[in-house]
Amino acid sequence: MAMQDTEKYSPSTSLQFEEKVPDVLVSEAVGPKFTVERLFRRVTAQLSQWGLEVNGIVPIPLEERTDPRLYQMFMVWFSANANILILSAGTVGPAFYGLGIKDSLLIILVVDIVTCAFPAFFAVFGPKLGTRAMVQSRFSWGYYGAIIPSVLNVLSMQGYLILNAIIGGQTLAGVSTHLNASLGIVIIGIISLAVSTSSTSVYETVIWIPNVIAFIVMLGVGGKNLVNAPLSSPLPLDTATILTFGATLTATNVSWSTVTPDYGVYHNAKASSWRIFIYAYLGFLLASMPAHMLGAAFTAASVSVPAWKAGLGDGNDVGGLIAAILAPTGRFGKFMLVLTALTAPSACAPTMYTVCTSFMTIAPIFAKIPRFVIATISTAILIPVAIVGSTRFYTTFVDIQSLIGYWLAPFCAIVLTEHFVFRRGPWSSYDVLEAWDKPQHPNLPRGYAAAVTLAISIGLIVVCMQQAWWTGPVARKGTGDVGMLVGFVGSVAVYLCARWLEKRWTKTR
């Protein structure tokens, strides 16, 4: 998937695309000797003729990064966040941590304003370097060291796909008694697969509309019940609860940092970094904050509205809650429910695309696998896991979000420290086209500094994290889950020292 109406074909590790890529691929696939690679080439050629995007992970040259439509940076991230998955992240405060409306909204306000800046800045890397996020990570983690974040990113993004399929499936199940969450998950998974392997600029431009309409209708129909919701938490609010809920929201926003560079690789490389940042930042903030707040408000109010409480069930059916809120509107509400459920792929599609590019970055042999094959395997995995996880949504949600956030803290710290301190900002210092696939290139770190930083940060995170299955000694003292915060700050300090030593002992820049 890419944000272009007419996609140019770029070379990949296994498929050397030119202007007439399908003809080249078909001719190479035809021959007396049958091989799996020839078959993949032929199938890929046919898919490209049907309009499917087939690009690999090779960086895009400067002369091809000319798309002036920077507004797409706003639209794709607004669409990806103006949906029910992001709304469900806000419900965690009242449902899982027992927060009231006022407490939840204040935490959401502060966290979203600060943390939406992370994926927005990483979005700048796409047009400026013309490379995908995990390939770009080689310029701070090293060629071999970047395998670590690539593997972790595949697992993390797969986790997000599972969560999105659960929410979409539950919402679709609220339409009719003939549908259940399991069937809904299968439908959402298949639609996400179809969308993620296609060129979807038009899709991402308009798919936010039914979600925004549904949110407005929900507010109009159910807003009168919000006044009866508890403004403050029923229990005394402590710092630990604030930080732990904040960490969950932070993970929701920051996790996009390993996705956003993938969607700007064809956009104008000469555009102002600030323009790119602002477009992406507003796309995240203007979608995430209202969705988070609506989720928190309606969930907090559900304790005083029997129909909403029944829809939410034991707290694990966000789709049921949405169905209960829209129920007074009758058939129109069910129509909106269907549209809202079927727009779940607006977040699934970019996530699945990044699963594929991250998997390709792990090893050269994986880069030879066509992306549609990886996407199909990803879908085959997420559907059964989502069906199992749908019975315990909040536990699944919090566990996945927290684990994602923990490793993203050192990842972001390492990449940003490398960029601002050691490369001092100029994009030309990366020399991406020459160095991206050469392990010994002097412009690629050896990866020792990043590996040491990650190892030390894990030690810091473990003593500061707070989960159902483990609470570190620092968190036990009442600090709450500060694993992400400590992991980020600690990683900056460790990487500064470790990278300085690495540069002295090696010939890398």
Q: What is the 3-state secondary structure (H, E, C) of 475-488?
A: HHHHHCCCHHHHHH
Q: Which residues are CB-neighbours of 404 under 8 A, at least 6 positions away?
A: 156, 159, 160, 251, 255
pLDDT at 495: 97
Helix %, strand %, coil % of the chain (to 5): 75, 0, 25
The tokens for 95 are: 């449902």
List pLDDT tens digits, range 1-20.
444 433 333 333 333 323 33
Q: In this structure, how many other beta carbons lie within 10 angstroms of the beta carbon of residue 439?
A: 12
List pLDDT tens digits, range 363-373.
999 988 888 88
The tokens for 173 are: 């199940």
For residue 279, is pLDDT > 70?
yes
- Among 365, 389, 211, 383, residue whose Cα is nearest residue 294: 211
DSSP string, 335-397: HHHHHHHHTTHHHHHHHHHHHHHHHHHH-HHHHTS-HHHHHHHHHHHHHHHHHHHGGGHHHHH
Question: How far is residue 208's CA from residue 340's CA, in Å, rounded to a whole number?
Answer: 9
- Among 478, 32, 113, residue whose Cα is nearest residue 292: 113
pTM assigned to the model: 0.85
- Among 461, 489, 448, residue whose Cα is nearest residue 146: 448
Average pLDDT estimate for 287-298: 93
Question: How far is residue 77's CA from residue 205's CA, in Å, rounded to a whole number?
Answer: 10
pLDDT at 289: 96
Question: Do the Cβ atoms of 398 and 475 come closer than 8 Å?
Answer: no
Confidence of residue 315 (pLDDT cuts 50, 70, 90): low
Q: In this structure, how many other beta carbons lie within 10 angstroms of the beta carbon of residue 19?
A: 8
The domain ranges of the chain are 54-403
Average pLDDT estimate for 201-226: 82
- What is the overall mean pLDDT for the chain? 83
pLDDT at 407: 92
For residue 337, is pLDDT > 80?
yes
User: Lowest mean pLDDT: which of 38-42, 176-180, 274-278, 492-496?
Assistant: 38-42
Question: How far is residue 366's CA from residue 424's CA, in Å, rounded to a whole number?
Answer: 33
Confidence of residue 394 (pLDDT cuts 50, 70, 90): low
Question: How far is residue 426's CA from residue 413's CA, in Å, rounded to a whole number?
Answer: 18
pLDDT at 44: 56
pLDDT at 198: 66
54-403: CATH, from 1.10.4160.10, 1.10.420.10, 3.30.930.10, 1.10.443.10: 1.10.4160.10
List pLDDT tens digits, range 103-128.
899 999 999 999 999 999 999 999 99
For residue 436, is pLDDT > 90?
yes
For residue 313, is pLDDT > 80?
no
φ, ψ at 466 (rounded to 5°): -140, 110
Average pLDDT estimate for 137-157: 94
pLDDT at 111: 96
List pLDDT tens digits, range 441-462.
989 999 999 999 999 999 999 9
The tokens for 7 are: 């996609």
Confidence of residue 490 (pLDDT cuts 50, 70, 90): very high
Task: Collapse the DSSP code of 198 into the 3-class scheme (helix H, G, I; strand E, B; otherwise coil) and give the result.
Answer: strand
